[in-house]
Amino acid sequence: MQAWKTRFNVLDADLLLWGQLLLGALAVVAGALLLHAILRPIALRLTRFSPLLTAVVKRCDNPARWALPLIGLLIAAQGVPDTVAGIGGVQHLLGVLTILALAAVGAGAITGVAQGVALMHPADVEDNLAARRIQTQTKVLARVAKGAVMLTALAFVLMTFPRAKQVGASLLASAGIAGLVFGLAARTVFGNLLAGLQIAMAQPIRLDDVLIIEGEWGRVEEITSTYVVLKVWDERRLVIPLQWFIEHPFQNWTRTSASILGTVMLWVDFTLPVQDLREKAMAMCKASTHWDGRVCGVQVVETTERTMQIRVLVSAKDSGKAFDLRCELREGLIAWLQKTYPQSLPRVRALVEDVPAPAAPVIKPSLPPSPAP
């Protein structure tokens, strides 16, 4: 009976102590939330002159609302005696949650930096080459940095468990047998990550670049840490691994400038006056809003036994306007040929002569064979 009474007394004492600890934890959480509520408007006011810092503060707002109370609880839990039943598990849980919250704050800060850089270099202007280059580098590097932060947080979380401490250390240091096996298993992922770093630094492609990949024309819509999304002209999406761009050749029509040349090919008869066609093409280019005023040339580039091939070479500010200009010239020049020089359209010539029919052959009757002697 005395033993049960002693146990009840100990249980009552533990419950009382945990109640006090719970009240203290609530006070710490309330204080941390109050501190967050005070610091948030101050930080926004101090950073209002910088779009980059403002974006960082806004992105870190929600993760910091969780991180501050967890940090306060972790610090307070360190002062609780180890003799309190269950305090070790609580301290371990708070440590894991604090690591994850700090990782979320770091990821939010990285995202804020990327958004701030994008705001400082908008790509919705006419000459957006530099802006697209900076945005591409920022987005790719931000994704790689966030992946590194999450990987580091996972390693630290694993190191808090005694049995998984070696795995966490191997993951953090990228060494050991476990790290080697993981690296071999995920070599494709790591290859794409390294390719992403190469693309971010060398920049063979950028956001909104016009690419020709395996006969498909499209614009770069998105660049992730592992693949590129190409928006094809007919609204399809072509998803390409980053490593493909390192290992295969492709066409980039906007590598240094969006300006491009386009051609219109015509097959006409030899009787067409090329100078008149040249003057008509120049007049149509000057009247078109798609022409940029750089190039408008007409040349005879090929002849056959029946026709000659004429190339009209024109220039435009980008590939979309070049396509529209080519269609406009092709339609206009065909209509002009039909109206002005219909006789100069491709034709097949033939020489018809009135030749008398040959006389019928004379058939001689055959003689009977002579009788045998």
Q: How far, in Å, CA of 18 to CA of 20, rounded? A: 5
pLDDT at 248 over 90: no
Q: How far, in Å, CA of 323 to CA of 255, rounded? A: 18
Classify burial at 44, counting beta carbons within 10 Å of its beta carbon; exposed 0-12, middle 13-18, buried 19 or more. Answer: middle
298-302-304 Cα angle (round to 5): 135
Q: In the structure encoding, which two tokens stand for residue 162, read together?
A: 């005694």
Q: How far, in Å, CA of 3 to CA of 8, rounded? A: 9
pLDDT at 60 over 60: yes
Q: What is the DSSP string of 225-289?
A: SSEEEEEETTS-EEEEEHHHHHHS--EETTSS-S-EEEEEEEEE-TTS-HHHHHHHHHHHHHH-S
**Cβ atoms < 10 Å from Cβ of 136:** 21
pLDDT at position 274: 92
The predicted model gives 72-87 an average pLDDT of 74
Task: Round the average pLDDT of the chain to a whole number and report it.
Answer: 79
Between 78-92, 214-228, 284-298, the lowest mean confidence (pLDDT) is in: 78-92
Residue bearing tokens 């100078």: 275
pLDDT at position 27: 84
At residue 366 the predicted structure's pLDDT band, cuts being 50, 70 and 90, is low
Residue scoring higher pLDDT (362 or 35): 35
Q: Are 266 and 287 in contact (CB under 8 A)?
A: no
pLDDT at 179 over 50: no
Q: How far, in Å, CA of 127 to CA of 66, rounded? A: 42
Q: Would you say how long the chain is, in residues?
A: 373
- Global pTM reads 0.52
At residue 52 the predicted structure's pLDDT band, cuts being 50, 70 and 90, is confident
Note the pLDDT tens digit of each residue in 130-174.
777 777 778 878 887 888 888 888 878 877 777 666 655 555 555
Q: Are 265 and 333 in contact (CB under 8 A)?
A: no
pLDDT at position 340: 92
pLDDT at 180 over 70: no
Quick one: which of 168, 191, 187, 188 has its CA closest to 178?
168
CA 57, 62, 63, 66 torsion: positive or negative? positive
Strand partners, 229: 222, 239
CA distances for 124 relative to 104, 113, 252, angstroms = 31, 19, 20
For 348: left if phi > 0, alpha if psi spans -120 to 50, otherwise beta; the answer is beta
CA distances for 190 relative to 178, 186, 194, 311, angstroms = 16, 6, 6, 48
pLDDT at position 188: 55
